[in-house]
Structure 1
Amino acid sequence: MSKHPVQMFEYHTWASQTILGRIKGLPSSVLSQEVNSSFPTIAHALTHIYAVDKMWYLVLTGTGMPEALQACITLNESILNSVDEYANLFAQLSEQYREWFQSQADLEQTILLDNPYAGIRQTSLSEIVLHLVNHGTYHRGNISTMLRQLGHASTMNDYALFWYQEATK
């Protein structure tokens, strides 16, 4: 099995925890302060990332995409009150993904993905994982911008920094 999708997922987990760690070091009000950005608050952005991560987990574990989307719609509306709550949710889901990875012999196998917005296509499991990572990277960038709009520096969470963090483990 190619290790690249797994490594990319580990980067995704690390980057999410890194930005959550930065937010945790700021006043708790930062989570719910309104900004003029892609999301009304950082909490909304974190909720969206989590809901999409969960939706893809459901797809990867055998739920049809229309059903997975429906199951996660309410998650997208569940705004949490603390960074610790988000960190715990993300950590729990990451463990579920790791267990799923352990059960996979071939991440290049394809499934029939019925995307209600884009149509039906054969999609490899690795493509889904890489999309999940790309989606999270995009929205962590939104969060970095939101932090700057609120007068705070963000934190570096680039893939290249992850390489060096991993090398020191």
Structure 2
Amino acid sequence: MKKHPAIQMYDYHVWANNQVFARLKELPREIYDQEITSVFPSIADTLAHIFMTDTIWLGVMQGKAMDVIQASMREAQEKIGDKRLETIEALFEESANAYRSFFVEAGDMEKEVFPEHPKFGRLETNLAELVHHVVNHGTYHRGNVAAMIRQQGESGVPTDYIFYLYEINSTN
């Protein structure tokens, strides 16, 4: 059975994150923690932000109340702890598993949802659109990470969607 396009996009998100983790493991450790002038103070902070945002949106998709989502944010902050690369990578893997379980449980990615934002109000959307937001957000910040790596004199890793497509098509 063919995957829903939103689920394939989410799989790309996971693949691209894993590409970044693999590259960071090849680089000198200080690059990950080094404070630099950028969107976030470090690569570690940028990855923590992606993880936190993924956590928020999973809660939204699951229809959780804002107070429950805020509590999950506090728990996520505690899990992140010292922002060690290995810790963040493991949290991303847990998050991916939670998303995949949710997709199976939800079934219909076109299911309408109506998240309430404290500032922006009620949104009429569907699960697929929210998944696309999560992926787009991650793509934006992986670009920040690539720039931060480059600022420190190293090359990044290609994470464009087309590279994902080539990789998954070569394994089928």
TM-score by length of 2: 0.90
Equivalent residue, structure 1, for 2:138? 136
Shift of residue 62 of structure 1?
A: 2.2
Residue in structure 2 matching 1:84, options 86, 99, 102? 86
1:78-119 Cα deviation digits (max 9, x unpaired):
454432222111111101111111112211111111012322
Residue in structure 2 matching 1:99, options 74, 98, 101? 101
Shift of residue 55 of structure 1?
A: 0.9
- Does 2:39 match 1:38? yes
* Kept in 1: contact 2:63–2:115 (CA 8 A): no
**CA distance 1:81–1:104, change in 2 (3 Å):** closer
**CA distance 1:39–1:74, change in 2 (3 Å):** farther
Equivalent residue, structure 1, for 2:167? 165
* Kept in 1: contact 2:149–2:155 (CA 8 A): yes
Gaps of 5+ in 2: none
Residue in structure 2 matching 1:109, options 111, 116, 133? 111
Shift of residue 72 of structure 1?
A: 1.4
* Kept in 2: contact 1:48–1:76 (CA 8 A): no
Q: Identify which range, 3-12 or 95-104, moves more after superposition.
A: 95-104
**CA distance 1:80–1:24, change in 2 (3 Å):** farther
Q: Identify which range, 88-97 or 38-47, moves more after superposition.
A: 88-97
Partner letter of residue 60 of structure 1? M
Shift of residue 148 of structure 1?
A: 0.7
Name the CA distance, whole Å, in 2 between partners of 1:81 and 1:65.
Answer: 25
User: Could you say what secondary structure the match of 1:103 adopts?
Assistant: helix
1:30-71 Cα deviation digits (max 9, x unpaired):
111011000001000000000000111111122134642453
Name the CA distance, whole Å, in 1 between partners of 2:131 and 2:5.
Answer: 10
Name the CA distance, whole Å, in 2 between partners of 1:161 and 1:153.
Answer: 17
Shift of residue 136 of structure 1?
A: 0.2
Name the CA distance, whole Å, in 2 between partners of 1:106 and 1:141.
Answer: 31
Gaps of 5+ in 1: none
* Kept in 2: contact 1:144–1:154 (CA 8 A): yes
Sequence identity percentage: 34
Partner letter of residue 114 of structure 1? E
- Aligned length in residues: 169
Instruction: Write out aligned runs for 1:119-158 (5 A).
Output: 119-158=121-160
RMSD of the alignment, in Å?
A: 1.9
